[in-house]
Amino acid sequence: MDKITVYEKPTCTTCRKVAKAFSEQGIDFEKVNYYIEPFTKTLLKSLLKKMGMKPSELLRKNDEAFKKLKAKIEKLNEDEILKLMIENPDLIQRPIVEKGNKAILARPPEMIKDFLHKK
């Protein structure tokens, strides 16, 4: 079985719900706090590809960090947005759950149910 990795911010309510759901189901997973172990450009690009998303689609648009940088972000291309997200992890939607060659943005947390059963 493919290893499951949850990229999270431990204080995030949604991240805690996902971790709790895995634990309650006895599913082994690894948690990565991307504030302590920051995303590399290669890793974030790989996760986006696995999710079928562009960097701009993974932005936390309701977050204060986004609101402060909105005017700047609107002028950036996708690669520049990716770089900005790596520099400012508050801009990244969470949690991201990775399993093998697939990944999802687990918002709402219930999305993990279908994801876990996909081959």
Q: Which residues are catalytic?
A: 12
Distance in angstroms (rounded) separating the CA atoms of residues 74 and 117: 37
Query: 97 forms bridges with which residues in the sheet?
Result: 6, 104
3-state helix, strand, coil in the chain (%, to 5): 45, 15, 35
Q: Closest by alpha carbon to 100, among 30, 21, 5?
A: 5
